[in-house]
Amino acid sequence: MAKLSDRLMAIYRLIPNGARVADIGTDHAAIPIALLETAKSSFIIASDLRKGPLFSAQEQIDLADLDSPQQIELRLGSGLSVLKEDDDIDTIVMAGMGGELIAKLIEKVPTFLTDSLLILQANNEEYTVREAIIQQKRTIIDEKIIQEGRHFYEIIVSCATDKPKTLTNRQIKFGPFLLEQNSAIFRRKWQKKREHLANIKKILEESKQQGSLRYDSLQEEIKEIDEVLM
């Protein structure tokens, strides 16, 4: 199997064996190629909004010299609109996008995809993804956190449920599973965030803005991070 980054490998490992997968925003089709190389999936739709990434994806598929490259179907289009009911997709990967965009896509999941497993990796604003999951009466069944260089990536796995659970504001912000796991990477992410907020707080203090709403908000956020890292 071609080498995947730690982020993509974590996503790959979360995809069930035998799944029919849609990789939305596929870019270079790294995950679809890995799925086919290892026979983890026999049908993958790799889509993107732009022709350029799909051209790159086709190049990578050709270079991979797969036995059955036709089992990866490239589609040009926006979000989940590229999927059809007779595709029988049961697993959807949305990775490398902004949190707000992924949240909007979750809100637009068509009825025939309601029971699909969602594997979601936002580059920012992960809390908006969790909010959308709860609003759509879905549930979070797993979370992972990965560090690549200076960057931290959270991966959220969601499925449909008859008994949706509510999340506390803290769980929405930090992740219910990530809070429970309290891993070294999770702690590093929030220690780094705390340092950033503390620097901003210091700048506000130097400019005599201790009474501002921004200052109060920073204090509350730093306090909450301290409580989580205790």
Residues 94-132 pLDDT 10s? 999 999 999 999 999 999 999 999 999 999 999 999 999
Question: How does residue 211 score in pLDDT terms, banded at 50, 70 and 90?
Answer: confident
Q: What is the pLDDT of residue 186?
A: 98
Please state, rounded to an integer, the average pLDDT across all residues of the chain: 95
Question: How does residue 1 score in pLDDT terms, banded at 50, 70 and 90?
Answer: confident
Phi/psi of residue 119, nearest 5 degrees: -115, 110
Strand partners, 48: 76
- Convert the pLDDT of each residue in 169-188 to its tens digit: 999 999 999 999 999 999 99
Q: What is the pLDDT of residue 99?
A: 97
Dist. CA 35–CA 139, nearest whole Å: 25
- Is the pLDDT at 208 greater than 90? The verdict is no
Can you give the pTM of this predicted structure?
Answer: 0.95
Percent of the chain residues topping a pLDDT of 90:
92
Dist. CA 174–CA 138, nearest whole Å: 18
HEC readout, 115-131: CCEEEEEECCCHHHHHH
Average pLDDT over residues 198-226: 92
- Is the pLDDT at 2 greater than 80? The verdict is no
- Is the pLDDT at 212 greater than 80? The verdict is yes
